[in-house]
Amino acid sequence: METVYSVNGVPIRLTYERWYHIIENHDDLASHFYDVLETIEKPEFVIHGNEGTLKATKNFSKKKWLVAIYKEVSKKDGFIITAYFLDKKAKGEVIWRR
């Protein structure tokens, strides 16, 4: 298990079990474990997601954005739900910008 801190200072964990689940559905992420963690810790912006989730986003190239969806359960605990690449910037209400 790895833990990083969100822009709100909340520790966000990524278990290896969750990581395997993510790459089963998004095999293009297989070599991007640490990129997903860095996207949570140092995003370009954070967007409100569904049902209390947050979407951390980071640009990798002109048409490649990494989105990591996570939930802050409390001020001392959070976890990554999933991650994926988009070919354009994610949509939604921006709540934090670098």
- pLDDT value, residue 33: 97
- pLDDT value, residue 68: 98
Q: Which residues of the chain have pLDDT under 70?
A: none
Q: Please check whether residue 40 is in contact with residue 55, taking contact to mean a CB–CB distance below 8 angstroms.
A: no
Q: Please check whether residue 15 is in contact with residue 73, taking contact to mean a CB–CB distance below 8 angstroms.
A: no
Cα separations in angstroms, 50 against 27, 55, 71, 81, 93: 24, 9, 10, 12, 11
State the amino acid at position 5 in one-letter form.
Answer: Y
- pLDDT value, residue 89: 87
- pLDDT value, residue 82: 97
Residue ranges and CATH numbers for the domains of the chain are: 2-92 (3.10.450.530)
CA 17/CA 61 separation, integer angstroms:
29
